[in-house]
Structure 1
Amino acid sequence: MTAPAAAAPPDKLDAAVLKIAGVVVLGAIMSILDVTVVSVALPTFQTEFNATYAQVAWTMTGYTLALATVIPLSGWAADRFGTKRLYMLALLLFTAGSALCATADSIGQLVLYRVLQGLGGGMLMPLGMTIMTRAAGPQRIGRLMAVLGIPMLLGPIGGPILGGWLIEAANWHWIFLINVPIGAVALLYALIALPKDNPEPSESFDFLGMLMLSPGLALFLYGVSSLPEAGTITATKVWVTMLLGAVLVTGFILYSLRVRHPLLDLRLFRNRSLRISTISLFVFIIAFMGAGLLFPSYFLQIRGESTLHAGLLMAPQGIGAMLTMPLAGTLSDRVPVGRTVPFAMALIAVGFFAFTQVDTDTSYWLLCGSLFVMGLGMGGTMMPIMTSALRTLSNQEVARGSTLTNILQQIGGSIGSAVMSVILTSRLNGSTPIPGFTDPRTGKPVTEAAAAIAVQQGIKLPLPPAVIQRGLDFAAGSFATTFWVGFALVLATFIPIAFLPRKRQASPLVEEPPADGGERSATPVMIH
């Protein structure tokens, strides 16, 4: 299985590896596209299911919760059942979940089916990384990251555009139905192209760790994600679930430091490169993923764009990343990331700043140009930092190290989304109420900002133009304030990245025999 890869030059990926990469990339595209496709459909879900924004946001949050829950199990399950069989099972779960999502007739059903999707999608990326690393060899980790970065490029470019077009040309059901034929092709492709592997479990499964970590993560993220709807951290379903989750996760941390083969090996944080890289990505993800969900919302709610146009306006970000990510993948094998990442982060900060100045008629040239600059920075930031962390780990440590990093990123993304949503919601709620108008879903008075957003989305209301304009100005200012918080977090990311290595690191990913004499295989996990 690895012979063809071994014969290839160390800086190139041969035809056999590229054939396998096609399977992995196809599965990853399905998983990542589904996140960005749904992001532009949230207003549609509000209308279809007569739900609030906080309620429909659970279609994103439920998917993320499932990802965070299943990721810790992927490494052990790959060793136990084999990567090919498990990868095909993940494809099947994701495809079945997609088909069920298209049949949902309530917001509760849709969230439930999105969780099923997430269970499959959560395994697609880590298993894909396992398959690719075994085929290509860890010595080409930089090129490998560049290849697997393709889905990350297509997601921001194609997801919003595809979602907007499907909603306008057909209906929201098709943003899920489109996955069914793609999933069927991916399953057949995986059956033919993926080499057969012989699972050789080398470690006993940490059931006690699983019983603490997975429920702990799910409870904590549930509490964090409930913040936007509850509006305050003192709400019972927020602080109780966050506390229970924190207690379980803390118990797991104390437990994992004392056992030989924990579900997650937290001792790897002694590795300075892994520790600094993880902190950098964690802070960055809180800022960027949280605010990133607000970009299409601004176009939809403040500028009154259609879902298709909002998707097209987001495309420059992905195009910018497409230009720099392949270059960054090559450079990360040759140049210390401490010398390149700060410049990429500076591009992100410059692009992000423009969104702190948004109003009701900010130039689209400025906004699209800013998204393009941010994309250039993204392509030179996330993958090189991940590569820097993996490069200092031995082959069997990559599985555990990358899983740690990915879980913290999922937590960071959930925290960022919740924080940004709470700030935006609290700002919008400060708008002046309109006498005589109440929201039929909540029974609360309708504010000028809420009415203005409804008008921008095509709902006709018997209100004077001056009231609508006043509400629209207030709503735009609320978005700008929220973006200021994200910008401050982006600036905070410069603190940990200042400690990234500025000299060539040690020989990457040297294979070391495990202490117990058994065999272990690397199961890296990619950023979602």
Structure 2
Amino acid sequence: MTSASYPDPSRRLLITGATIIAVLMVTLDGTIAVIALPHMQSTLGASQDQIAWVLTSYLLAGAIATPLAGWMADRFGRVRVMALSVVGFTLSSIACGLAPTLEFLVFARLVQGLSGASLVPLSQVLLLDINPPEKQGPAIAAFGMGTLLGPMMGPILGGWLTEYVSWRAIFLINAPVGVMAFTGLMVFARDLHPGRASPFDARGFAFVSISIAAFQLMLDRGQMLDWFDSTEVCIEGTVAALFAYVAVVHMLTARNPFIKPAIFKDRNFLLGTMLSAVTGIFLTGVIPIMTSMMQQLLGYPVLLTGLISTPRAIGNIITIMLVGRLVSVMDARYLIFTGMALLVCSLALLSSMSLEVSQTRMGFVTFLQGCGSGLLFLPLTMIVFSTLPREHRNEGSTIFTLVRSLSGAAGISLIQAATIRDQAQVQSHLVERVRPDNPVIGWSMPDFDVMNVPGVQAMMGEIGRQAAMVAYVNSYRAILILAVIAAPLALFMRKANRTAEPLAAVHGE
């Protein structure tokens, strides 16, 4: 493909801007509503279990619709699907902001999730497509900043709008953003080769969707319902496993399956997707428990917690900008491995912490996390799609995004559940040893009296803090082991083909 086949630089810039705005809008809405839930609950007169469906419906719809994005892009054209997705997301956002009842709000959030599911996976392939190989690094770096800044900005922007304007404003601000994204896509981008999709495999899509929906529900409601002590969670887990098995069998035996097995024959795609799943678990899962540890255990106020987390964003931005240039001259496998090594270092520091950890050390850990994830994102995306056949790019992008999203959700749920249960077990063991005949108690606290209620309460509080810290450290160590095992996967990938012809389905001409 010649350079003349690509859009001119100014048009590429405008297409990139519209794409990143759309991505930022969708990723922002994944986290912006979390902080406003209490205000929604009060306004709409909902219980805690009912208001949780505002988040669950969005995540559930997104998980179901993401696998469909690749087929729709092949059938109707990528830009057309993205533009319609922006329209649906914008209109449903306005509906969320004007929702008079909880039921209407949940329905609008469901439409939001369905509409926005295709934007992230199709956007990264669009940026690869409109840029020549030597310009793909900076384009994906810009895309990476959009996907990373959205979740980081969500709680901050949502908190400010909820406090000083209204919780409805967190949805209504999508209206002007959506208009800009839609205009940019429709005016500057073009579909050249729509209608290439294979016949739609309705059964395969149904099997995959039911399995994903049940799995997402199990993750989202498991902690609230005490996991497998709940009949609902057991049913959801069983349905997820059963339909996952049926979907795999169908994929391997059907003539034109919804997910084609041939896509997994590409070594880079297979290993890259596995690596993305693992990093999704410990990147997405570690950040919430670190925030919880700083606020609830170390006693940091919200503002200080935000300040200590800021180096993560700084590290992200620095490394993404740097790696956008390095990826064209260095082997992407070594950049990925370096990113994994930085994450392993951050986890090693976390797994050796105590209640006396300094704020400086916590800030350094978040900086390492930001640098590591920044080094991972762009090279991993580039190497996965550099060897993937042209006809599988749309489908590959949706699977890659879906796996990362589901693994992140699983990481949050599993790590939080393991930490809570571990804390209870450690606290039980420690309490058993606080008795008058224990020589350690007599030696370290000779004045301790079990009949002194304030003294016992102070002792129990300290035991709770120590047990919580042990639980956090145990979780960090488990994730550290997983990261060490996963890191060498990067070295088994094939070297990126920088001269490979990119996908030619969409251009801005």
Name which of structure 1's ranges 200-209 and 486-495 shifts more when overlaid on structure 2: 486-495
User: Deviation per CA, 1:239-280, whole angstroms, max 9, x where unpaired?
Assistant: 212211222221121111233432212332232222222222
2:490 is paired with a residue whose SS is coil
- Whether 2:53 is the aligned partner of 1:63: answer no
User: Deviation per CA, 1:124-156, whole angstroms, max 9, x where unpaired?
Assistant: 112323432332246754333212112134225
Name which of structure 1's ranges 112-121 and 376-385 shifts more when overlaid on structure 2: 112-121
Shift of 1:29: 0.8
User: Which residue among 471, 481, 496 is the counterpart of 1:491?
Assistant: 481
User: Deviation per CA, 1:155-205, whole angstroms, max 9, x where unpaired?
Assistant: 254333222322333343322222222223322333333335563234211
User: Deviation per CA, 1:11-48, whole angstroms, max 9, x where unpaired?
Assistant: xxx22211110110000111112223334445666777
User: Which residue among 50, 69, 79 is the counterpart of 1:84?
Assistant: 79
CA distance in 1, matches of 2:456, 2:178: 50
Shift of 1:405: 2.3
Shift of 1:211: 1.5
2:117 is paired with a residue whose SS is helix
1:440 aligned residue: none
The change in CA–CA distance for 1:47 and 1:301 in structure 2 (over 3 A counts) is: farther
1:270 aligned residue: 265
* Matched-pair contact (CA < 8 Å) for 2:140–2:378: yes
1:407 aligned residue: 402
| Structure of higher CA gyration radius | 2
CA distance in 2, matches of 1:145, 1:405: 15
Shift of 1:419: 0.9
Name which of structure 1's ranges 259-268 and 24-33 shifts more when overlaid on structure 2: 259-268
CA distance in 1, matches of 2:466, 2:62: 33
1:23 is paired with a residue whose SS is helix
1:526 aligned residue: none
1:450 aligned residue: none
1:36 aligned residue: 31
**Structural mapping, 1:186-201, within 5 Å:** 186-195=181-190, 197=192, 199-201=194-196
Give me the TM-score of the superposition, normalised by structure 1.
Answer: 0.79
The CA RMSD measured in Å over matched residues stands at 3.8
CA distance in 1, matches of 2:255, 2:380: 28
Shift of 1:522: 8.5
1:62 is paired with a residue whose SS is helix
* Matched-pair contact (CA < 8 Å) for 2:6–2:132: yes
* Matched-pair contact (CA < 8 Å) for 1:253–1:266: no
1:390 aligned residue: 385
User: Which residue among 7, 10, 15 is the counterpart of 1:15?
Assistant: 10
1:149 is paired with a residue whose SS is helix
**Structural mapping, 1:98-497, within 5 Å:** 98-104=93-99, 110-137=105-132, 140-195=135-190, 197=192, 199-302=194-297, 310-356=305-351, 362-426=357-421, 474=464, 477-478=467-468, 481-482=471-472, 484-497=474-487
* Matched-pair contact (CA < 8 Å) for 2:161–2:170: yes
Structure 2 unaligned residues grouped into runs of 5+: 428-453
Name which of structure 1's ranges 188-197 and 276-285 shifts more when overlaid on structure 2: 188-197
Aligned partner letter, 1:29 = L
* Matched-pair contact (CA < 8 Å) for 1:274–1:389: yes
* Matched-pair contact (CA < 8 Å) for 1:354–1:370: yes
The change in CA–CA distance for 1:338 and 1:30 in structure 2 (over 3 A counts) is: same
Shift of 1:418: 1.5
CA distance in 2, matches of 1:167, 1:470: 37
2:256 is paired with a residue whose SS is coil
User: Which residue among 487, 497, 504 is the counterpart of 1:507?
Assistant: 497
Give me the TM-score of the superposition, normalised by structure 2.
Answer: 0.81
* Matched-pair contact (CA < 8 Å) for 2:85–2:116: yes
2:227 is paired with a residue whose SS is coil
Shift of 1:511: 5.2
CA distance in 1, matches of 2:148, 2:285: 18
Aligned partner letter, 2:468 = S
1:452 aligned residue: none
The change in CA–CA distance for 1:295 and 1:365 in structure 2 (over 3 A counts) is: same
Shift of 1:63: 2.6
- Whether 2:91 is the aligned partner of 1:96: answer yes
The change in CA–CA distance for 1:127 and 1:386 in structure 2 (over 3 A counts) is: closer
The change in CA–CA distance for 1:349 and 1:266 in structure 2 (over 3 A counts) is: same
Name which of structure 1's ranges 474-483 and 384-393 shifts more when overlaid on structure 2: 474-483
The change in CA–CA distance for 1:490 and 1:303 in structure 2 (over 3 A counts) is: closer
Aligned partner letter, 1:492 = L
Bigger helix share:
2
1:78 is paired with a residue whose SS is helix
Aligned length: 482
Structure 1 unaligned residues grouped into runs of 5+: 9-13, 433-463, 513-518, 524-528
